[in-house]
Amino acid sequence: MTEIPTKRDGRKENASATQAALQLAALRWFSAQGFEKAPVGSICGDAGVTVGALYHHYGDKKGLFAAVVEQVDAQLVQQALAARQAVIDNGGSAWDAFLASIDTVLQAGTNAPLRRLMLVDAPAVLGAQVWGEIRQRQGLGAMRGSIAAIQAHGIFQGHDAERLARIVLGALYGGMDSLPEDEAGVQDALADTRQCLVAMLEGLRRG
């Protein structure tokens, strides 16, 4: 029986390519200049598309920014989950795997432009509701899953998973926000921040 080849949808492929180019260019500009100072014309020029394409796919600059923030948060979640899985695959404990995921997110905080994008511009530009919805889908959702997974190993069982996920993620974001922009001092600050977070988590683990 002859297999009929699947017809490719050129319009969808072109749309996906346009969105990918816009989001990549926008990430560069938003990271370097912040939301307010990033020019729409420059973003579109770097992406090789018209300004009309931006408005067609995202509605406005804010819509593009929301897509970039969600993409960055999703990538960070995937990196954290991969770090956790790597520890498990190498025979590590569920607790060590959990801490590895925390370390991955905290390490990302040493990137000052990313920190500004996610912790300063995102809540200010998108507002509490939209930023909260992105967190629900990405960071908070992943943390909730991580807490539930570790509870299955007898850890954190005395705590509500949803509440604890919010507390831990809030502390993690706070730790990232506390890191200095000065590269000379960031590694010492990172070590101190990690020590504080682990001490808090160890206390919750024993509680």
Q: DSSP of 64-119, one letter per residue?
A: HHHHHHHHHHHHHHHHHHHHHHHHHHTT--HHHHHHHHHHHHHHHTT-HHHHIIII
- Cα–Cα distance measured from residue 132 to residue 139, given in angstroms and rounded to the nearest whole number: 10
pLDDT of residue 7: 43
Range 60-82 average pLDDT: 95
Range 178-193 average pLDDT: 90
| 82-91 residues labelled b (16+ CB within 10 A) or e (exposed) | ebbeebeeee
Query: Rounded mean pLDDT of the chain?
Result: 90
Range 23-36 average pLDDT: 95
pLDDT of residue 13: 60
Range 20-40 average pLDDT: 96
Q: How many CA atoms lie within 13 A of 57 on its CB side?
A: 23
- Cα–Cα distance measured from residue 91 to residue 25, given in angstroms and rounded to the nearest whole number: 40
Task: State the burial class of residue 168 (Cβ atoms within 10 Å of its Cβ: 0-12, 13-18, 19+).
Answer: buried
Question: Does domain 10-59 fall into CATH 1.10.246?
Answer: no
Matching CATH topology for 10-59 and 65-206?
no
Architecture of the domain delimited by 65-206? Orthogonal Bundle (1.10)
Q: Give helix 10-33 / helix 51-58 axis angle, nearest 10°.
A: 100
Q: Cα angle at 93 between 89 and 99, to 5 degrees?
A: 95
Q: Which of 11-25, 32-46, 113-127, 140-154 has the lowest mean pLDDT?
A: 11-25
Task: State the burial class of residue 16 (Cβ atoms within 10 Å of its Cβ: 0-12, 13-18, 19+).
Answer: exposed
pLDDT band at 15 (very low <50, low <70, confident <90, very high): confident
Domain boundaries, the chain: 10-59, 65-206
Task: State the burial class of residue 183 (Cβ atoms within 10 Å of its Cβ: 0-12, 13-18, 19+).
Answer: exposed
Higher-pLDDT residue of 136 and 40 is 40
Pull the structure tokens for residue 190.
Answer: 């990172």
Count of C-beta atoms within a 10 Å radius of residue 199:
10
Would you give the DSSP letter of residue 30? Answer: H
